[in-house]
Structure 1
């Protein structure tokens, strides 16, 4: 035996909003008819309440039970037109019992019955109009929310594509600069060329899988920065000193891959390398309430002698805002007596 699931019956029942609307209309209409006809309020309320309940059930069930060839609006109007006289007749039967047809033979009683049917039809039309307006507003709201969701999804897909493009521009830039450093060691005949090359290979094996990692964290980024500075220190042990702070409270924050690495690489290339005396690079960060500040500072040649920021910093600004929002920004400050300090300001999301 096939049974109908309980949830399918629930579609035949009116919504809470519809029940509340009918209750308000029943109360107002009963009060008006009571004042106009001097009929006791409880009798009018019983009649109108019964009619309203019948019309509401018919209106609610018309949608799920209608045939496919009949529109929803037509099905509901047809249900109201059929239910109004039937409900009025049922009310008369309840009041008069088996003598209902004898009761209707009276012109006065028949006029009252017709009036009750007309009132029921007006009641049903009011109910239908109010309900359809509410449903139309709900559909419009649902369509609007769906449109916003689709728009946000498209914007997110475009943003991801843009981030991948920026990442593709940064990766070769970083890799070629690192290989150029190794080439300089080999060309100069430095005994450090072999160890540096081995360190570079080990570093790239660890770093390359993380470059496009959407779930990269600040902790993994700091590890890459330390390894990179180890590599650079092997190339110029007498000219480069560095310190990378431990930030355990911030290690689990989601962070765009290679963001700090780009700043450190710029500090080496544009700050330390051009300086005869070399310099020191410091990487640190702190959190103030819901804001995070990370910085990379160097004591190299400074902004007056270094080249203007190029693709690396320009892309980093764009990636930072794409990752954390429009309020995220990058600040570049000149240090005294010489050097540069670059700060990343952003409001982090949830930990990875």
Structure 2
């Protein structure tokens, strides 16, 4: 009599599980006791017959899922196997215990009624346990299907997010490169003696930076190094009008960070803050980790013309906000503040332990 299973049978499973056999044995022990009391037959004899029938029904249930005909579903095949196996298994117990006297044994009214009752109970409990087992298997399959669907959905969402991040990255790369070249063009057009050194530094910078522009494994340390190199280049272009400082950040070597995120902020500070200012200004890049929450704050501040002339953020900032949330989840944010007495401070807030 098949019990509820702990896992659904597959098409390749022709034998019952160990848990099924254990449940049949326990049920046989419990059922044998009232039958022993009602019939007066010794307990071990009742247990042997009930146990044999129970195991026969269990084998039939398991095998039906594997060897069923193609025109019959698994559930009808299992129920049919149990119903047909019950009288055969009950008759086999009589042959095993009575031998050649089984005809005489069944000829007695009391024993014949007992045999019919045994077949009835076998069919009843066999069908009951089969239905319970198939219902549990169906629920397990439904749970497995839901889990598989969710896993596929999550995988698709990750692929879409990666594709979106790659697209945003490609938008930022030419934005950065063209702005940098425009700065060099302005220097050359002005006839500055620094044009040659700046151009050489730019070539060296691009040789170092280009392999990292699409680096999915970029870290905050590599980003800070690019920022330093870029600011050195800009300082050569306007040595009397721009000063800068870049501070180290704890654990920057191991912190995964979206490539060119800080560089975009620094470029904006130069282009929209320092360049338009008659007096120039300074740029500060730094960061800190909150010891309690573990959240990290990075900032780029400048003492340029201020918020009034930079109130309309372009593609770089919009993409950066999206990329930051793609890396660190919806709680990551980008804040713009007006600095005192002038300038702009941009802050990135995120939890490096949060997954998108």
- Do the structures match in fold with TM over 0.5? yes
1:236 to 217, 238, 241: 238
Structure 1 counterpart SS, 2:307: coil
Residue 92 (structure 1) aligns with? 94
> Does 1:155 pair with 2:157?
yes
> Does 1:195 pair with 2:197?
yes
Residue 4 (structure 1) aligns with? none
Inter-partner Cα distance in structure 2 for 1:228 and 1:185: 15
- Judge conservation of contact 1:203–1:228 (CA < 8 Å) in 2: yes
Inter-partner Cα distance in structure 2 for 1:19 and 1:293: 60
Deviation readout 1:263-289 (Å, 9 max, x if unpaired): 111111122112222222122222234
Residue 103 (structure 2) aligns with? 101
Structure 1 counterpart SS, 2:331: coil
- Judge conservation of contact 2:328–2:354 (CA < 8 Å) in 1: no
> Does 1:338 pair with 2:342?
yes
Inter-partner Cα distance in structure 2 for 1:177 and 1:348: 30
Residue 126 (structure 2) aligns with? 124
Structure 2 counterpart SS, 1:61: helix
- Judge conservation of contact 1:281–1:299 (CA < 8 Å) in 2: yes
Alpha-carbon offset, residue 315 of structure 1? 1.2
Q: How does 1:286-301 map to 2 (within 5 A)?
A: 286-288=288-290, 289-301=293-305
Moved more, 156-165 or 174-183: 156-165
Give the 3 Å change call, closer, same or farther, for CA 234–126 of structure 1 in structure 2: same
Moved more, 336-345 or 247-256: 247-256
Deviation readout 1:222-274 (Å, 9 max, x if unpaired): 12111111111111112222122223512222211111111111111122112
2:329 to 325, 339, 342: 325
Inter-partner Cα distance in structure 1 for 2:206 and 2:304: 26
> What are the ranges of 5 or more consecutive residues in structure 2 without an aligned counterpart?
1-9
Alpha-carbon offset, residue 41 of structure 1? 6.0
Inter-partner Cα distance in structure 1 for 2:269 and 2:233: 14
Structure 2 counterpart SS, 1:304: helix
TM-score (structure 2 length as normaliser): 0.87
Inter-partner Cα distance in structure 2 for 1:24 and 1:281: 78
Give the 3 Å change call, closer, same or farther, for CA 97–286 of structure 1 in structure 2: farther
> Does 1:146 pair with 2:141?
no
Inter-partner Cα distance in structure 2 for 1:339 and 1:44: 94
Residue 114 (structure 1) aligns with? 116
Root-mean-square deviation over aligned CA pairs: 2.6
Deviation readout 1:84-111 (Å, 9 max, x if unpaired): 1122123223443442232112222122
> What are the ranges of 5 or more consecutive residues in structure 1 without an aligned counterpart?
1-7
Residue 308 (structure 1) aligns with? 312
- Judge conservation of contact 1:26–1:48 (CA < 8 Å) in 2: yes
Moved more, 86-95 or 53-62: 86-95
Alpha-carbon offset, residue 185 of structure 1? 0.6
Inter-partner Cα distance in structure 2 for 1:56 and 1:311: 68
